Amino acid sequence: MIDAVGLRKVYRLKDREVVAMDGVDLTVSPGEVFGVVGQSGAGKSTLLRCVNLLERPTDGVVRVAGEELTALSGARLRAARRSIGMVHQHFALLSSRTVASNVAFPLEVAGVGRAERGRRVGELLELVGLSDKAKAHPAQLSGGQKQRVGIARALASRPKVLLSDEATSALDPETTASILELLRDLNRELGLTVLLITHEMDVIKRICDSAAIMERGVFRESGRVLDLLGTPGSLLARSLFPLPATDVPDAVAITYTRSYDEPLMSELTRRFDVDVNVLGGAVETVSGSSVGRLNVQVRGANREAALGYLAESGLLVEAAR
């Protein structure tokens, strides 16, 4: 649905050049939620602005919903961009307009008639759970409600793709959870493809099917979240499940990305007669699967066979650090 190849963006300032993006390849499949996570200055906003051609990349090709945006300009680019909705961190609502009129705004710009606009706005407000706020003004809404208006407005022209620029960064944890849930529901119910940028690992954990870690203008790793978590040395695994450093002898870090019918640890002690001591870790639901990362001390004569058994069972076994 989104295909970007070799994206570079260089800002030319008076006295120097800033390379904000330096060769990013991004593929977002139809119907998935893809999260790009990184610290401030990593290049996330630049990537998002280049994907919808708010800014033209210095190099590279961007295709969205089958259209090569980088080959278009003027009216054809504006028309193609209707298949992309955008949600902003600070909502970007018009304060003098009511909620309904904010949502109607892109429809007015697109020349949609009054009756059709009214019908569509009603539908959109229902979709985001704000039917009772149609006549309110943005100043009368909570942050979460404002973001719901922002999402309704972004969906007005029935986009295939929603870009989210730190949609939950200005919200408290509870409101963040409800907005993420809304994005997930819209993704499922409308088959909406979502590309979001965030600096919060929690957003990746809660709603993303795929993710990329961005640092200094490049993707350090990218792929399906569960695949990355099961990959040796994964940065995402270390960031989502930070394990405390350990120098305990015979300790290993174990990662599993699905639930097991049989109790593996007790099986281990029974079959291999080893002592198993859990030193630390966490178990959480990621992309709908039970994922765990544990530091475990395994001791005994059959230690190697026991670790081999875990690896054969599909767990990732690495040296604990």
Comparing CB distances to ligand ATP, the nearer of 20 and 121 is 20
Q: Which is nearer to ligand ATP, 46 or 295 (CB)?
A: 46
Q: Which member of 46, 164, 187, 234 binds ligand ATP (CB under 6 A)? A: 46
């120097």: which residue's tokens?
16
Q: Check residue 167 for interaction with ligand ATP (CB under 6 A).
A: no
What letter represents residue 158's amino acid?
R
Per CB under 6 A, the list member of 7, 32, 38, 230 interacting with ligand ATP is: 38
Which one, of 212, 211, 161, 157, lies nearest residue 183 by Cα? 161
Q: Return the closest-CA partner of residue 172 out of 196, 147, 191.
A: 147
Check binding of 20 to ligand ATP (CB under 6 A): yes
Instruction: Tell me, by CB under 6 A, how many residues bind ligand ATP.
Output: 13
**Residues 121 and 103: beta-carbon distance below 8 Å:** yes
What single-letter DSSP state applies at residue 242?
P
Q: Rule CB under 6 A: choose which of 32, 34, 37, 43 binds ligand ATP.
A: 43
> Reduced to 3 states, what is the DSSP secondary structure of residue 217?
coil
Distance in Å, CB of 46 to ligand ATP, minimum: 3
Q: Where in 172-201 is the site for ligand ATP (CB under 6 A)?
A: 199
Pairing of strands 316-319, 251-256: antiparallel
Q: Which of 7, 42, 237, 316 binds ligand ATP (CB under 6 A)?
A: 42
CA 69 to chain centre: 22
- In the complex, the smallest distance separating the C-beta of residue 316 from ligand ATP, rounded to whole angstroms, is 29
- Rounded Cα–Cα distance for residues 243 and 246 (Å): 9
85 lines the binding site for ligand ATP (CB under 6 A): no
Q: Which of 44, 146, 205, 293 binds ligand ATP (CB under 6 A)?
A: 44
Question: In whole angstroms, what is the distance from residue 172 CA to residue 170 CA?
Answer: 7
Query: By C-beta, is 38 or 144 nearer to ligand ATP?
Result: 38
Give yes or no for residue 283 binding ligand ATP (CB under 6 A): no
Q: Is 201 exposed, middle or buried (0-12, 13-18, 19+ CB in 10 A)?
A: middle
> Does 220 help bind ligand ATP (rule: CB under 6 A)?
no
Among 17, 29, 30, 41, binds ligand ATP (CB under 6 A): 41
d(CA 55, CA 35): 20
Q: Find the DSSP H helices in the chain.
A: 44-51, 74-80, 99-109, 114-127, 143-155, 173-190, 201-207, 225-229, 235-240, 264-272, 303-312
Stretch of 42-50, 134-142, 220-228, 241-249 contacting ligand ATP, by CB under 6 A: 42-50
Stretch that binds ligand ATP, among 10-18, 63-71, 132-140, 205-213 (CB under 6 A): 10-18
- Establish if 45 lies at the interface with ligand ATP (CB under 6 A): yes
Q: Which residues bind to ligand ATP, rule: CB under 6 A?
A: 11, 13, 18, 20, 38, 40-46, 199
